[in-house]
Structure 1
Amino acid sequence: MAPAAMTPVSSLSDARPVSFWLDDPGKPAPQPALTGDEHCDLLVVGGGYSGLWTALLAKERDPQREVVLIEGNEVGWAASGRNGGFCAASLTHGFANGLARWPGELEKLEELGARNLDAIEAAVARYGIDCDFERTGEIDVATKPHQVEELREMQREAEELGFGGSEFLDRDAVRAEVDSPTFLGGLYDRRGVAMLHPAKLAWGLKAACLGLGVRVYEHTRGLDLAPSGAGMAVRTPYGRVFARRVALGTNIFPSLVKRVRPYTVPVYDYALMTQPLSDEQLAAVGWKNRQGLGDSANQFHYFRITPDHRILWGGYDAIYPYGGRLSADLDHRPETYLKLAEHFFHCFPQLEGLKFSHAWGGAIDTCSRFSAFFGTAHRGKVAYAAGFTGLGVGATRFGADVMLDLLAGERTERTELEMVRSKPMPFPPEPLAWTGITVTKWSLARADENGGRRNLWLKAMDRLGLGFDS
């Protein structure tokens, strides 16, 4: 009897339920927890990219500044160690979102974003961070005819406004880059996105911080925040930290400034990683230039290839839990893994028989304008940045600079931006939030099936500045 053909479900039989990036024997040991009291000039709460960049840049600005960073679990364990490794220059979640929200300052935002990505590349080199940083670019691919026209229109609009840099690829050209029978066209941004190993970036930033004298405490959760004399105090399980200034990089986790909490909701995102492709499989796909890719649907997939020739395949099935509940139980969703596997083999039928080695998920800090927001509290002694909405690998460094500017009370080209001075619309209480997000997700799926036509609900969301695209 002939062996049974491989099916999407059987491709998941060996998938480990852990982030591929974090499943690394070279993972550094955690720093000890804080026991007792600490005193410092700047306390950074959160050991993901946002907090790590803030601590690092604070020491670069003033090497004498005493900086303490506390992390409730281990550095890089959450979104910073579970994302796809796309490090984009865009600070606005793409050109279209920036144009819709801040047309008058988009030129400045694009310039700042490009400089920010250059600075990340320079920091990776300066500190010797071995995180597989590659300036490969990204292709937005069209898989339906209406998406081809949308990409052409996006390129035309950008060029008319003086923003070049993206190259339109027809069906043959895009399939010459990466071969899928589903690809009908693409828009290739060759310089605006880098690929990297996200966990190694976090671990490398931690090492750089320690090397500059930042005192890092892991397994040290910030429990509450209160004024203390001329500064602030943060209580932890085994002590307190007294600081002149505090920067909050907690993102999806409940902010120690409670009024900030309604501005973000957790949306769970999931990803698969394949086993390494054989030489024959690699030739069948033809993925030579190592770009990141994302399809152009409202409910989209993002995918990239690693240095050891694995393919990461994620996205599409974004899940909002009722009440914004954060739970480790939501980090895995077998029905989503199966859906992703089915979509993967639809995209790459020539890879039938390939199996997945890892499957994982995690929460994205989502805000209603799809790009970060910033602010201060306690008379300027506390600053925060949050709401990166899945684009934090690069933009968190910019957010760190904004927080440090705000804490210094400085007027800079960053703090003068409307993007920095304004806030997104907060999410309503339940059950309105769950109902609205559920209806929006259903409407986006309908638009994908109806040539991109947005229904009355989505048009109303657009008018309110809540034009979700995933």
Structure 2
Amino acid sequence: MHTLADAAPEPYWLRQPGAPPAADPLAAAETADLAVIGAGYSGLWTALLAKERDPGRDVVVVEAGTAGWAASGRNGGFCAASLTHGFDNGLSRFPGEMDTLERLGRRNLAEIEETVRRHDIDCDFARTGELHVATAPWQLRELGSFHSAAAQRGLDVRLLDRDAVRAEVDSPTYLGGVWDRDGCAMVDPARLVWGLRRACLDLGVRLYENTRVDRIETTRAGLRLQTLRGRVDARHVALATGAHGSLLRRLRHYVIPVYDYALMTEPLTDDQLTTIGWRHRQGIGDSGNQFHYYRLTADNRILWGGYDAVYYRGGRITTDHDQREETFRVLARHFADTFPHLGGVRFTHKWGGVIDACSRFSGFFGTGYSGRLAYAAGYTGLGVGATRFGANVMLDLLDGRPTELTSLKLVRTKPVPFPPEPLRTGVIQLTRWSIAQADRHDGRRNLWLRTLDRVGLGFDS
């Protein structure tokens, strides 16, 4: 497609100017009170919160690449209050504590905003909210139910008919929508990572990049992280590696690596932006099972991503999968359908990356090595905000005392595990086909999807 002809095969966010130079790799023996494996959002929030809780705590972060090189620097930049991958998913899985989870999630988002301000992190953080749009009649019905349940709980949600939603953002595909006015912020994800990295260093966290942890060993005083040229002996360890979680064998049963893809347009002209409106600059997601997410950047580009959620046979993670031309062509066609009045807009970047997905879509938590290690994983694409909550959970678990967070069912329970290979690949591909069929047939879920729903393995993109 001509609109893709000049698109650079790289993540837009990570190629911006301003990336910090890499820290030195670990090349000696170190000790620490807390060692964090991974310098994405999950690891950086854990290190930062650990120092804020106890400034005297000695914290080391060890990262296999550079801070934010994986999911944290490749996502759409939606920082949601939801801890449960959306209100509907949370209500279906944790109905008894949904009010508490919403309260904690909104507080978490407010504290992220406060941290960005306090540490002077220049990441275009803006509380614009998120617009959920319907592009088929069956989606209108589901959005109406969401609005009713959310409004009853006092959430700031506005139900929009066809004319009202098109007055916000003009697309001929929109039939209606719900604007969650307070539950989501837009953020430059890479600059958020770089800002958190700087804040950690300012508080005395020691960071080693380009240092892969090969194995974890038990010592008399705690745990040892063994790397190629050095090691870290620590009393406690926080494992914050997302889809790259092979260091703890049990996580392989619960987490699958799913590839997500995105495009970035050239900056819109003032006239082009006027044709679609978008004055309030909300993040937008359509409401299919295979959904798109999209938003404006600070310089008025449109990030357009989602729809395909691709699991490659055997769960193999490789940079070869970061580019998928078939998906990019599909995304470009869908963009043209949504905004036909932007037909001349070209894409400047195209990229993919791995999401750590689990069967309940929301993060799960636990400990290992007799409580000396804590982990958080499985955010399934909504981790920009929820990882900060997960960092607090990990620190509470390592403290070994009950808290409001550790008493939550969300924290105490695990997702349904995925079956082993090769059955895992077959199940996932059948499910992907089934959800595509549901989108084509008014949202009706076939027998396979209904069976997965009943056993807690409901899967969509």
Please report the TM-score for the alignment, with normalisation by the length of structure 1. Answer: 0.97
2:66 pairs with 1:74: yes
Please provide the CA RMSD for this pair.
0.8
State whether structure 2 residue 261 is matched by structure 1 residue 252.
Answer: no
**Structure 2 residue ranges without an equivalent (≥5):** none
User: Where does residue 211 of structure 1 map in the other structure?
Assistant: 202
Q: Does 1:408 align with 2:395?
A: no
Aligned to 1:332: 323
Match of residue 257 from structure 2: 266
Equivalence for 1:449: 440
Alignment correspondent of 2:185: 194
Preserved CA contact (<8 Å) 1:166 1:190: yes
Aligned structure 1 segments of 4 or more residues deviating by more than 4 angstroms: none
1:261 is paired with a residue whose SS is helix
The alignment status of 1:422 with 2:413, answered yes or no, reads yes
Is 1:37 the counterpart of 2:37? The answer is no
Task: Indicate whether 1:55 and 2:47 are aligned.
Answer: yes
* Aligned counterparts of 1:190 and 1:405: Cα–Cα separation in 2: 31
How far off is 1:438 after superposition? 0.6
Decide which moves more: 44-53 or 24-33.
Answer: 24-33
The answer to whether residue 94 in structure 2 is matched with residue 102 in structure 1 is yes
Match of 2:20 in 1: 28
Matched, 1:350 2:341: yes
Aligned AA (2:451): A
Rounded to whole Å, the distance in 2 between the matches of 1:257 and 1:468 is 24
Distance 1:341 1:188 in 2: 25
The CA deviation string for residues 400-444 of structure 1, in whole angstroms up to 9 with x for no partner, is 000000001121100000110100011111111111111111111
1:255: how far off?
3.3
Residue aligned with 2:310, SS: coil
Instruction: Look up the match of 1:4.
Output: none
Identify the residue that residue 350 of structure 2 maps to in structure 1: 359
1:312 aligns with 2:287: no
From 222, 226, 245, the counterpart of 2:213: 222
Q: Which residue of 2 aligns with 1:6?
A: none
Distance 1:416 1:387 in 2: 19
1:150 corresponds to: 142
* The one of 449, 457, 461 aligned to 1:466: 457
Name the aligned partner's letter for residue 459 of structure 1.
Answer: R
Q: 2:112 aligns with which of 95, 109, 120?
A: 120
1:157 Cα deviation after fit? 2.9
Q: Distance in 1 between matches of 2:137 and 2:230?
A: 59
Per the TM alignment, residue 363 of structure 1 is displaced from its structure 2 partner at its CA by 0.5
Question: Shift of residue 163 of structure 1?
Answer: 4.2
Residue by residue over 1:291-345, the C-alpha shift from the partner in whole angstroms, topping out at 9 and shown as x without a partner, is 0000000000000001100000000011101111000000000111111001000
Deviation at 1:258, TM superposition (A): 1.1
Q: Which amino acid aligns with 2:66?
A: E
Equivalences, count: 461
1:390 corresponds in structure 2 to 381
Report the equivalent of 1:432.
423
Indicate the residue corresponding to 2:275 in structure 1. 284
Residues in 2 aligned to 1:31 and 1:444: alpha-carbon distance in whole angstroms: 44
Structure 1 gaps, min length 5: 1-8
Partner of 1:3: none
Using the aligned pairs only, state the percent identity. 61
SS in 1 for 2:309: coil
Deviation at 1:175, TM superposition (A): 0.6
1:233 aligned residue (215, 224, 230): 224
Could you give the per-residue CA deviations for residues 164-199 of structure 1, whole angstroms, max 9, x where no partner exists? 321111011111111100011001000000000000
Q: 1:248, 1:255 within 8 Å by CA — same for their partners in 2?
A: no
- CA displacement at 1:373 relative to structure 2: 0.4
